[in-house]
Amino acid sequence: MTSPAARNFSLGIDVGGSGVKGGIVDLDTGALVGERFKLATPQPATPEAVSATVAEVVAHFGWDGPLGVTYPGVIVDGVVRTAANVNRAWIGVDATETYSAALGGRPVTVLNDADAAGLAEHRFGAGVDQRGVVVLLTFGTGIGSAVVHNGVLLPNTEFGHLEVDGREAEHRAAASVRERKEWSWKRWTKEVTKVLVAVENAIWPDLIIVGGGISRKADKWVPLLENRTPVVAAALQNTAGIVGAAMAAHGEGMH
């Protein structure tokens, strides 16, 4: 499928620790055109294996238009700097080139997964019309973060790795920690509050958006939070990364 001339469409692919998800995005509305398509993240999640999976997702859509792909770690000028939740072989790899090579050399825009979700929530989701500093935190295998100021992304914030009370934030309060420890919502939310307080003391956002799969159950835990900044649940939920990747392929929010 190629992009119809009259409208802006991109394919966005969100690479996470457990799934590689893609969708064609209408950039005027932020809506997916047709179904989301998901494949399991290969294990071990090496650059070669993940890139081959990304290529399968592109082939599923038969897409030859603009393409944005996320990576769940720090990306500087296309090069991977961290790999907290994927195979360490990624470190130092040029993700832009690696994804592109698996796709026969076509251009690809690569950005951090939480940064993509932050762009999408700001433009089409829970942060629409919000001025000032918006922080998005995603709670999943790890904790991802994005900072958007008046619509422009400050890339590669890594609040999930802030030290909070002697422990890394994501080791304290990722959604995976709640599952592993079989914590109640109340118990886990205590840890999330500590992380939000550390973030708000460092950057004083106007709004915090909480995302990741666990935001679907926001009514169970967001009301229990005790930090000072207003907190809202992500609106796009499992499409935010896809939509943000598609936006980035058009250069939106990236400068």
List residues near ligand BGC by CB under 6 A. Answer: 72-74, 82, 84-85, 112-114, 138, 140, 142, 144, 158, 160, 170
Task: Between 47 and 142, name the residue whose CB sits nearer to ligand BGC.
Answer: 142
CA distances, 40 to each of 16, 18, 231 (Å): 9, 6, 31
**9 Rama class: left (phi>0) / alpha (psi -120 to 50) / beta:** beta
* Local structure of 138: helix, strand or coil: strand
> Which residue is closest to ligand BGC by CB?
144
Q: How far apart (Å, rounded) are the C-alpha atoms in residues 245 and 255?
A: 15
- In this structure, what token pair is assigned to residue 122? 């700001």
CB of 114 to ligand BGC, least distance (A): 4
CB of 104 to ligand BGC, least distance (A): 28
Task: Between 23 and 118, name the residue whose CB sits nearer to ligand BGC.
Answer: 118
Task: Between 170 and 252, name the residue whose CB sits nearer to ligand BGC.
Answer: 170
CB of 219 to ligand BGC, least distance (A): 23
CB of 248 to ligand BGC, least distance (A): 14
Q: How far apart (Å, rounded) are the C-alpha atoms in residues 225 and 168?
A: 19
CB of 249 to ligand BGC, least distance (A): 18
CA distances, 185 to each of 102, 141, 159, 180, 221 (Å): 42, 17, 22, 13, 6
Give the bridge partners for 35, in sequence order.
none
Task: Between 3 and 253, name the residue whose CB sits nearer to ligand BGC.
Answer: 253
